[in-house]
Chain A
């Protein structure tokens, strides 16, 4: 069966599908990944800030019960396998997008899976900020909001970028999974041709493209993180 995958006929068919479907596939994967990441960032950053500042040693301690609830909810969302989460949130997706299939619809489960993850990543970035620097800002009369916006976020910026890169590559991986429920993109192409119709060559090509996309995101992210980190300027 494997041998059949590389026959000249298979190649000819694969090339035709690459031409007709791959460009759209790449775009859909890119679109779903980026939009889901952006929404996850928009929810994850405030949540990450809350996790750090609301801590009992944080700059704005919140009631412990509240912090425990937030932590438990995040942990629960993070521990549900994506495959199951995708199906569980279908009614919710339908409510928001109006449909449960298609690229836009797959953004909903992706975002729900991603934001708790992003919140945890950002939490760890923000915790890296030297507490002495925060104390110095307090000694200068900075308000909690000023400390968040002018100290914690800018000081951890390179680390936030690194962690956003981890998030975006992970979400890209998840987006391929949403191909199962008709989420579109390279993932769906790989599943439709490779899993349902045994066209392994097409599946391999789709996976190679996914790998390339991850490489591109990772390289851009690493370069940005390094470039923005002023601690690395030595002369």
Chain B
């Protein structure tokens, strides 16, 4: 279990102090895939570097399985870092070493015999699906392949935690998806806790179970991905979930019309045209004023803003929609 307690980080720069983290409290349980999302400059990278103490927090504690990282000696910390490995946006492979030697690198650091290290590296090349690239050099590989090698390298020391710092941000959507699937696979098969730092919603939606939204160095919202994305409460969460501005269309609602917000929370709604069905069944035809929905693994997530002619229709619609599983509906009074 990873516990971050009152984590604060202040950078002293020539232009004055910059507060990168403000009193961050988070708990990540074992085996979880935990997303930390935020706009650039929100403090995500600083936060992840505080977990393995590449950055020393100004204040607060990092507890890993109850061990306070701040109290470890340099040597103990280096040992501990073998259990908390990391992959990066720019892959950061050693460019003068072959892929096999790159994967051997962390084993070499901990004094594993060359033969054993190479054997383990070959196994890991299998795991990441690149067994034929042992002798290749990083410069000969594509971005996605380099990240796979980096993942293999991160797994070499059999870590308990894998930190992914914008690991897919330099990759195209298709490669992103395949890398995320690999990470999810590793999480399931090896039981490794994964912390995913990203600015992309799609990454969190794709693999994370829980998410924390970081805004200006502070945690704005935290919870299950499905809940946070279905009904974002904080401004920061709303900005991420509705980047195109959700509230705008609601402003031109007609007189006497009532508005309601429908939240798809993993409903099987993709296969049922819910709003059209409602019009057929109840005679209430709703005007879709705005919609931002996504289908993830066959389930619908997202929100819609509907407008109906009057109070009677509103009640009918709320009743009808609420009967559907994993769909919430509520009146929106003042937007």
What residues of chain A have their CB less than 8 Å away from a CB belonging to chain B? 130, 132-133, 135-143, 146, 150-151, 154-155, 157-158, 228-235
Interface core residue of A139, A155, A233 (most chain B CB under 10 Å): A139
List, in ascending order, chain A residues with CB within 8 A of B157's CB: 140-141
Specify which chain B residues have a CB less than 8 angstroms from the CB of A228 in the assembled complex: 96
CA distance A181 to B232 in the complex (A): 83
Which one of A140, A233, A234 contacts B109 once the chains associate, using CB atoms below 8 Å?
Answer: A140
Q: Is the Cβ of B81 less than 8 Å from the Cβ of A139? A: yes
The reply to whether B139 and A231 form a contact with Cβ atoms under 8 Å apart is yes
Q: Are B106 and A230 in contact (CB under 8 A)?
A: no
In angstroms, Cα B138 to Cα A53, docked, is 26
Instruction: Report how far A132 CA is from B85 CA in the complex, Å.
Output: 14
In the docked arrangement, what's the CA distance between A158 and B105, Å?
Answer: 20
Contacts of A140 in B (CB 8 A): 81-82, 85-86, 105-106, 109, 153, 157
Please tell me which stretch of B87-95, B234-242, B273-281 contacts chain A, meaning at least 4 of its Cβ atoms lie within 8 angstroms of it.
B87-95
Q: What B residues does A158 contact at CB under 8 A?
A: 96
Evaluate whether A234 and B105 lie within 8 angstroms (CB atoms) in the complex, with A136-B88, A141-B79, A143-B78 already known: no
Residue B108 at the chain A interface, CB threshold 8 Å: yes
Residues A155 and B96 in contact, CB atoms below 8 Å apart: yes
Bound form: Cα–Cα A58–B289 in Å = 56
- The winner among B82, B92, B93, B137 for most chain A CB atoms within 10 A is B92
Q: Does B146 contact A (CB under 8 A)?
A: no
Q: Which B residues lie within 8 Å of A231 (CB)?
A: 95-96, 137, 139
| B82, A154: Cβ atoms closer than 8 Å | no
**Bound CA–CA A143/B105 (angstroms):** 13
B interface residues (Cβ-Cβ under 8 A, vs A): 52, 54, 77-82, 85-86, 88, 90, 92-98, 105-106, 108-110, 137-140, 153, 157, 163
A150 in contact with B78 (CB, 8 Å): no
> Does A142 contact B139, Cβ atoms closer than 8 Å?
no
Cβ distance B161 to chain A, nearest Cβ, rounded Å: 11
Q: Which residues of B contact A233 (CB under 8 A)?
A: 137, 139-140
With both chains docked as a complex, state the minimum distance between the C-beta of A163 and any C-beta of chain B, in angstroms: 16
Contact at A135–B92, with CB atoms within 8 Å? yes
Given contacts A136-B88, A233-B140, A234-B140, contact A142 B95 (CB under 8 A): no
Whether B139 lies near A230 (C-beta < 8 A) is: yes
For B96, give its contact among A141, A143, A146, A157 (CB under 8 Å): A157
A230: nearest chain-B partner, CB-CB: B137
Name A142's closest neighbour in chain B (CB-CB): B109
* Beta-carbon contact of B106 and A141 below 8 Å: yes
Least Cβ distance of B114 to chain A in Å? 13
Beyond contacts A138-B81, A140-B153: 10 other A-B pairs, Cβ-Cβ < 8 A, are A130-B92, A133-B95, A136-B86, A140-B81, A141-B77, A141-B79, A230-B138, A231-B137, A233-B139, A234-B140
Q: Which A residues are in CB contact (< 8 Å) with B93?
A: 133
Kindly state the separation between the CA atoms of A232 and B140 in the bound complex, as whole angstroms. 9
**Residue contact B78 to A139, C-beta cutoff 8 Å:** no
Taken together as a complex, chains A and B put the C-alpha atoms of A140 and B98 apart, in Å, by 18
The docked-state distance in angstroms from the alpha carbon of A155 to that of B82 is 22
Q: How far is the CA of A230 from the CA of B54 in the complex (A)?
A: 28
